[in-house]
Amino acid sequence: MVSYKEIGLVNTREMFDKAVKGGYAIPAFNFNNMEQLQAIIMAAAELKSPVILQISKGARNYANAILLRYMAEGAVQFAKSLGWENPQIVLHLDHGDSFELCKDCVDKGFSSVMIDGSALPYDENVALTKKVVEYAHKYDVTVEAELGVLAGVEDEVSAEESHYTRPEEVIDFTSKTGCDSLAISIGTSHGAYKFKPEQCTRDPKTGRLVPPPLAFDVLHEIEKKLPGFPIVLHGSSSVPQEYVDTINSFGGRLPDAVGIPEEQLREASKSAVCKINIDSDSRLAMTAAVRQYLSEHPDAFDPRKYLGPAREEMKKLYMHKITDVLGSDGKAE
């Protein structure tokens, strides 16, 4: 048993409380490798932004769960070495799918876990979430739950059919389970292909897809039912078209990749939405930088030569999200 407090991490409770009251959102960035983690920490430390490091089941399978956990511990020390005296860093399990997995993370030093029972019948989601909350709260670990189903594919999470969260269920669900935050479905989606062309309109000038707007009416109804309760948005990458263009012009093929417009996420950040998950954008930044570097330097074979620019590009992206979209800069001085 390792307590996250011993390794300098924090849970989400105070951070979310301040974010809801302050009208901003905390970035939750996924990581599977060193360069990504370095870029996240450099951006957060430079801007003094609280940050959530997320590990998905896919990341655990790819990079090894123990190694990732120690990398997060190293990240706290790295942040301090960059001059961030009191780093506000959460280590969070993304899309936990069983009690056993959540328990394992609590026992190994995570400060927050998500139990995703959203694909289960309502009563089973309640029972599973409650069981995780009871265990996690013994160790002051916070728990994110989910109601409603998002479309798209994220590591091992995928759904063909999405449906919005039903506002009439949220009071019953949060009071029965005791969860600390709630992921809802209002039209965001996992991956770099968030919408099918037939769900979108096309900008006649650029030929690019314009996605349907998020269901802010559902969000506002949920906020009315649960005043001040922390709400989470998954699948909130914006799929920057300059990265898609760079990837496509250097040998990639990502036709019609489309995400959530940043102005809608900016609006959501001002509401009870206090955690916004961004993964695909960082993957795109990394891929664009690597493709461009290798095309322009066919003689390069030292991974540091192409992963270095990729890390720079990801850092730029994270800083942009923190200051221009979520507004969390300067909130963890």
Residues labelled catalytic: 94
Nearer to Zn ion, 11 or 280 (CB): 280
Nearer to Zn ion, 93 or 106 (CB): 93
Q: How far is CA 189 from the centre of its chain?
A: 12
Q: What is the CA radius of gyration of the chain?
A: 19
Min CB(296)–Zn ion separation in Å? 34
What's the CA gap between 159 and 190, in Å, rounded?
9
What's the CA gap between 195 and 197, in Å, rounded?
6
- In single-letter form, the type of residue at position 297 comes to H
Nearer to Zn ion, 194 or 234 (CB): 234
- Candidate segments 117-125, 135-143, 226-234, 314-322, binder of Zn ion by CB under 5 A: 226-234
Min CB(239)–Zn ion separation in Å? 15
Nearer to Zn ion, 234 or 315 (CB): 234
Q: Taking Cα atoms as reference points, which of 204, 190, 273, 202 lies closest to residue 239?
A: 190
Is residue 60 a contact partner of residue 68, using CB atoms and an 8 Å limit? yes
Sign of the torsion formed by the C-alpha atoms of 46, 332, 94 and 257: negative
Nearer to Zn ion, 177 or 237 (CB): 237
Q: Which residues pair with 190 in a beta bridge?
A: 152
Nearer to Zn ion, 48 or 190 (CB): 190
- Candidate segments 2-10, 121-129, 132-140, 233-241, binder of Zn ion by CB under 5 A: 233-241
Judged by CB under 5 A, the residue of 92, 234, 275, 311 near Zn ion is 234
Min CB(154)–Zn ion separation in Å? 5
What's the CA gap between 209 and 197, in Å, rounded?
7
Structure tokens at 140: 């002051």
Nearer to Zn ion, 275 or 291 (CB): 275
Min CB(190)–Zn ion separation in Å? 6
What's the CA gap between 39 and 35, in Å, rounded?
6
Give the total of residues touching Zn ion (CB under 5 A). 1
Min CB(54)–Zn ion separation in Å? 9
Q: Taking Cα atoms as reference points, which of 277, 301, 280 lies closest to residue 290?
A: 301
Bridge-based pairing of strands 157-159 and 151-154 is antiparallel
- Candidate segments 1-9, 171-179, 199-207, 229-237, binder of Zn ion by CB under 5 A: 229-237
- Candidate segments 42-50, 138-146, 234-242, 247-255, binder of Zn ion by CB under 5 A: 234-242
Q: Phi/psi at 162 (nearest 5 deg)?
A: -105, 155
- Candidate segments 8-16, 35-43, 231-239, 319-327, binder of Zn ion by CB under 5 A: 231-239
What's the CA gap between 46 and 41, in Å, rounded?
8
Q: Kindly give the interhelix angle for 303-320 and 280-296, rounded to the nearest 10 degrees.
A: 140
Min CB(230)–Zn ion separation in Å? 16
Q: Taking Cα atoms as reference points, which of 55, 40, 146, 30 lies closest to residue 108?
A: 55
Q: Phi/psi at 159 (nearest 5 deg)?
A: -145, 135
Q: Is 275 in the site for Zn ion (CB under 5 A)?
A: no
Q: Which residues pair with 179 in a beta bridge?
A: none
What's the CA gap between 33 and 314, in Å, rounded?
12
Residue nearest to Zn ion (CB): 234
Min CB(275)–Zn ion separation in Å? 11
Residue numbers at the binding site for Zn ion (CB under 5 A): 234
